[in-house]
Amino acid sequence: MMTPPTDVSESTVVITLRVMWGIDTREIAYAPVGFGAHHWSVSDTDGARWFVTLHDHGAGTGAGGRALTLLAAFRAAADLEASGLPFVVGPRAACDRSVAVEAARHRWLSVTPWLDAPRLPEPSAQTAAQLGAVVDALARLHEATPLAVAAATDDLLLPERERLDAALRRADGADPADPGDLPPGGPYAIRARTALRDNAAAVRAALDDYDALAAEVRASRGGWVVTHGEPHWRNVLDGPDGLHLVDWDTLLLAPPARDLLHVAGEASGPRADAVLAAYAARTGRVVDPDELRFQSLRWALTEVALYVAWFAEPHADDEDSATAWGGFTDSLSALASERGA
């Protein structure tokens, strides 16, 4: 997120670090990186530096389950790091051995070491050696599946699916400017309803495709592995001692394609072909290109569903909402383009 949270103060973060991790803060600065969580850079009085994250798992139905999945992901990541996988940068345990601490209701803090290493370049600028190193790290991760005993299993359910379905039903002949029984929303609410209405046919078709494909993917669970979930270039640091994967809150047992899509950056094309070929050579496991397409469809629908929920709730006219709007319209365009192909 680009702006600090309004419901968890900096002093709450500092106190939680001291009480639960024994970290006495010398300096703390909000780090506007990524999207979907809040981050701080923390230097302690011993000279160490930490990357502190506040994970928001929302209120209402399913919040407790999302928190359990987060804790399972972090526990599995910690176990994988302890097993000797050098590229895993997992959370540091608190004094009670918790891998994350609930600093406020449904708001969980985690702590990882700060690494002074650059991110990988964007996919188009990566060398063949860098691509091969990422694929090799993922192959090693997937081979370590028996060690990730705490990991939860991917249910293939789209978040906020009920709200998306309800919004699509309202899109039939509804006036986007009429709030009806919707929450107050904010400056993007009407624009979001209009955009969804204009793309409703493409979204419905994509949901039908997704439901049919998800049933097939669930039948392949025997070949599922422990996945990072989002090993794109922003979550891969290229240090002098090799690659490091950060941000393990999305770890799940899932199809290998869940990771490979992010390395390919696209569901089809020369880079996707290169990723699948390198992975097959490294692991002996052949991943069908259709599996990448399924994961790409899932990603776009997940973005649409999450942002439909975002803009239906009270929100400000700020940088975070502008970023969300860009993600929402990009995902709608991707689905419309796919359906029109």
pLDDT at site 177: 64
List of long-range contacts for 317-323, beta carbons under 8 Å, 24+ apart = 317/186, 317/187, 317/188, 318/2, 318/3, 319/2, 319/3, 320/1, 320/2, 320/3, 320/35, 321/186, 321/187, 321/188, 323/2, 323/35
**E strands along the chain, which residues?**
25-30, 37-44, 49-56, 101-104, 107-113, 225-227, 236-239, 242-245, 252-254
pLDDT at site 178: 65
Structure-block tokens of residue 81: 């790091």
Nearest C-alpha neighbor of 229 from the set 215, 248, 210: 248
pLDDT at site 60: 47
Rounded-to-integer distance, Cα 100 and Cα 111, Å: 8
Q: Name the pTM for this structure.
A: 0.93
pLDDT at site 117: 95
pLDDT digits (tens, 9 = 90+) for 202-230: 999 999 999 999 999 999 888 999 999 99
Helices then strands (H, E): number in the chain? 10, 9
CB 40 within 8 A of CB 29: yes
Rounded-to-integer distance, Cα 174 and Cα 16, Å: 47
List of the chain residues with pLDDT < 50: 60-61, 341
Give the length of the chain.
341
Rounded-to-integer distance, Cα 114 and Cα 133, Å: 22
Rounded-to-integer distance, Cα 130 and Cα 2, Å: 29
pLDDT at site 182: 60
Structure-block tokens of residue 230: 């989002």
C-alpha distances (whole Å) from 68 to each of 35, 62, 146, 226, 333 are 21, 10, 20, 17, 33
